[in-house]
Amino acid sequence: MRIVCPHCGERPVDEFVPYGAAGLKRPDASASTSDWLDYVYLRDNKAGMHGELFYHVGGCRAWLIVTRDTRTHAIAEVVAARDQRDAAR
Ligand SMILES: [Zn+2]
């Protein structure tokens, strides 16, 4: 699999470290233990398009959000996590 980094261009997946699902909402500090367990351990694991965080450790060292189809591993979009965060503000 190859990932097109918005900063470095197309690179082998070996240069990236996957971190997990993107877009998780961290519970409030006063949330219940059940809410924290869900946040830390439970994932939907759905078939289809899925956003994941990747760290480009072998390149620009940026955090990226990679949207890929979990059935085919086809990548639909790669954006810098910082850009997506700034757009949401
Ligand atoms: Zn990069």
**pLDDT of 30-50, one tens digit each?**
999 999 999 999 988 889 999
Q: How far, in Å, from the CA of 51 to the mean position of ligand 1?
A: 17
> The pTM is what?
0.83
Architecture of the domain whose range is 2-88? 2-Layer Sandwich (3.30)
Distance (Å, rounded) from C-alpha 16 to C-alpha 19?
9
Confidence (pLDDT) at 75? 96
Confidence (pLDDT) at 12? 97
Q: Which amino acid is at 79?
A: V
Least confident of 41-45, 52-56, 58-62: 41-45
Distance (Å, rounded) from C-alpha 1 to C-alpha 68?
11
Distance (Å, rounded) from C-alpha 55 to C-alpha 62?
6
Q: How far, in Å, from the CA of 81 to the mean position of ligand 1?
A: 12
Q: How far, in Å, from the CA of 7 to the mean position of ligand 1?
A: 5
- In 3D space, the residue among 44, 37, 5 whose CA is nearest the CA of residue 22 turns out to be 44
Over 90: is that where the pLDDT of 1 sits? no
Q: How far, in Å, from the CA of 23 to the mean position of ligand 1?
A: 20
Secondary structure (3-state) at 11:
strand
Q: What is the mean pLDDT of residues 13-37?
A: 94
Q: How far, in Å, from the CA of 59 to the mean position of ligand 1?
A: 5
